[in-house]
Homo-oligomer: A and B are copies of this chain.
Amino acid sequence: MNLTNSDIQKIESLIADRKKSHVYYQEKSKVYNAFIDMENQAFSVGKLGKKYKEMIAIGISIYTNCEPCMEWHIKEALSSAALKAEIIEAIGVGMEMGGGAAVVSGRFAMKVLEYYMKDHKSK
């Protein structure tokens, strides 16, 4: 599948927003900073490896149609050596749990997956 320019623009603007809002709330919100600590606890290696934790997050992102969550957790899963086929199966679990509304979420997940399978891993 080939991404259109507008697909790439959308993904890259989500990435830019993620970075800007991180700076913004880190300065202004103690709740946000506590959340970042919670996130670190949730995704650090434990009995489950980081890769499998990211798979859970991908499934939830599909279930709830959170596009910026897909962008982040698919990126993180690939950085943790997840395979494309594994990610598609995680998406499949989200689809099963969430039906038609979650199947629709798969449309953006597909684009993010193709985006990060190319040469964009470090963003």
> Residues on A close to B: CB < 8 A?
1, 6, 13, 17-18, 20-21, 23-25, 28-35, 37-43, 46-48, 52-53, 55-61, 63-66, 68-69, 83, 85-86, 88-104, 106-107, 110
**Pairs A–B under 8 Å by Cβ, sample size 22:** A20-B107, A25-B110, A28-B85, A29-B91, A32-B106, A35-B100, A42-B95, A46-B85, A46-B89, A48-B89, A48-B90, A53-B93, A56-B56, A57-B100, A60-B63, A64-B64, A64-B101, A69-B104, A95-B99, A98-B98, A98-B100, A99-B99
Q: Is the CB of A69 within 8 A of B38?
A: no
State the copy count for this chain: 6
